Amino acid sequence: MTQSPDEHFHRNPESVEAPLDAPNQSLADALRSSFSVLKGIIAVIMVVYLVSNVRSIAGHEQALKLRLGRLLPGAPHEAGLVWALPEPIDEIVVLPTRKSNELRIASHTFRRRADEVGKPLSFLHRSAGDGLHPTLDGALLTADAGLVHTRWKVTYKFDDVSAYVSRVAGNEVEAAETLIRTYLETEGIAIAAELTAEELIRTRVDYVQSEMRRRVNGRLTAISSGVVVTLVEMHELTPPIQIRGAFDATQSAENLKQQRIRAAEKDRTNMLSEAAGSAYPRLIRLLDEIDQSDADAPLDELRAELDRVLVNDVEGEAGRWIKEAGSYRANVVSRMQSDVERYRTLLPEYRRNPLMLVNRLWEQTKQRLFDGTEITTFYRPPGLRELRLKIPLDPEQVRSREEQRLQDKELDVGTLRPKRILPVGPEYD
């Protein structure tokens, strides 16, 4: 029977294929199984590749995405999982923005020898012949041509992670530390050139630390780095070890000088307070202004104010003397006024009859003298040419002398010796 071409074309190929023998059939089954496994492996690889750029962000970190090197817009990612396209398409940048980071800088200190590592500065000794190596030993040059060694400890944080990633060359913490180290070394040289070695080591350490932080932050802000320095500390401040003994001796002498100056100022304050009380600063100010004043009108005003302060406000010894002088002046003026009034009262009478006024005043004086309780009166008989009187000591005077003698014989508490030694006996009474 003859078949048409169309029938031959549409015939099922399986109906015409010859069955495979057992080895070939096993090979075909193995190939089919391997192909299925390969497809599964490829699928797993694709899934792993797609999730390969998943990062876990800690609570103190923030993350940003870079796509083909460019920062993607949006806020930084907080704690949790962050997914991005696989590298090198996307890149996840993670920075510790929620905690402070520490950076230690030893550019301005000397190189320790092997036997000096770990020892405190007080145990390090070098001879004067051991100089500094310019390429190994760092130091700061001060305004008085001195050298100072120091170590720096900088605490910083990332204030704006987006600005840091987009502005700073690099996306790791090391880039920020390199930037801070460069600025600190430069500003350290500038600040040291403004101060003496003594100020840099001892008297103005707090100023140097705060000024360094201010200047470094100023430079970081100027380039919008997104990094801020929160603290700058100086450690192991010392002059070169070779001259530290002489430096310490100079400092000891300076400290002694300052102590004596403070003691002298304290004594000055105590003496002025004892002399004039709390008003002594105003007195000193007025006296200085009077010495420096050239105009007559202000000079009169200053002197008037000085008089008011002396009379009304001055205390202490000067105040006591001024009050005693014022009281004495008032008594003298009062007596003089009384004398003037009496003179004016007696003057008309004296002009009328001078002899009568003199006699009357003399009689009043004698009466006042002889009527006193301390006056003893003796009468001489008329015609007696010689009169001898045996006058005993006044009992009141005897009692007063005895009280004084007993008082002088009392013992002194501090020395247990009599204050005075007086001869005792009838011949000394």
Mean pLDDT of 415-422: 46
Q: Where in the chain is the domain with CATH 3.30.479.30?
A: 100-239
Q: Measured in whole angstroms, how far is the alpha carbon of residue 334 from the centre of its chain? A: 60
Most confident region among 2-16, 49-63, 258-272 by mean pLDDT: 258-272
Q: Which long-range contacts (CB under 8 A, 24 or more apart) does 238-241 make?
A: 238/121, 238/148, 238/149, 238/150, 238/201, 239/146, 239/147, 239/148, 239/149, 239/197, 239/201, 240/110, 240/132, 240/139, 240/147, 240/149, 241/110, 241/121, 241/124, 241/125, 241/126
Share of residues in the chain with pLDDT > 90 (%): 18
State the pLDDT at residue 417: 47
Please answer whether residues 237 and 121 qualify as being in contact, where contact means their C-beta atoms are separated by less than 8 angstroms.
no
pLDDT digits (tens, 9 = 90+) for 330-364: 999 999 999 899 889 988 988 888 899 888 888 88
- pLDDT tens readout for residues 51-96: 666 666 665 676 766 666 566 665 566 666 675 656 676 666 666 6
On the question of pLDDT at 390 being above 90, the answer is: no
Phi, psi of 47 (to 5 degrees): -65, -45
pLDDT in the model for residue 413? 45
pLDDT at 218 over 90: yes
Residue 220's pLDDT is: 92
pLDDT at position 123 is 66
Sort 243 into a burial class: Cβ within 10 Å, 0-12 / 13-18 / 19+. Answer: middle
CA distances from 52 to 42, 85, 178 (A): 15, 8, 31
- The two tokens of residue 99 are 């905690």
pLDDT exceeds 60 at position 154: yes
CA distance 418 to 45: 115
Q: What is the distance between the alpha carbons of residues 27 and 21, in angstroms, rounded to a whole number?
A: 10
Helix, strand, coil distribution of the chain in percent, nearest 5: 55, 15, 30
The answer to whether the CB of 267 falls within 8 A of the CB of 190 is: no
pLDDT in tens, 230-264: 999 999 888 888 777 777 787 788 888 889 999 99
152 has a pLDDT exceeding 90: yes
| Segment 124-152 mean pLDDT | 83
In the prediction, which pLDDT does 70 show?
65
Architecture of domain 100-239: 2-Layer Sandwich (3.30)
Q: Indicate the pLDDT class of residue 187, thresholds 50, 70 and 90.
A: very high
Greater pLDDT, 11 or 62: 62
Q: Which of 158, 176, 156, 165 shows the shortest CA–CA distance to 74?
A: 165
What DSSP letter does each residue of 252-315 carry, written as one string?
A: HHHHHHHHHHHHHHHHHHHHHHHHHGGGHHHHHHHHHHHHH---HHHHHHHHHHHHHHHHHT--
Q: What is the mean pLDDT of residues 112-135?
A: 73
Is the separation of the CB atoms in 242 and 269 below 8 Å? Answer: no
Query: What local confidence, expressed as pLDDT, does residue 77 receive?
Result: 63
For residue 92, give both structure tokens.
Answer: 């996840």
Provide the pLDDT confidence category of residue 97 given band limits of 50, 70 and 90: low
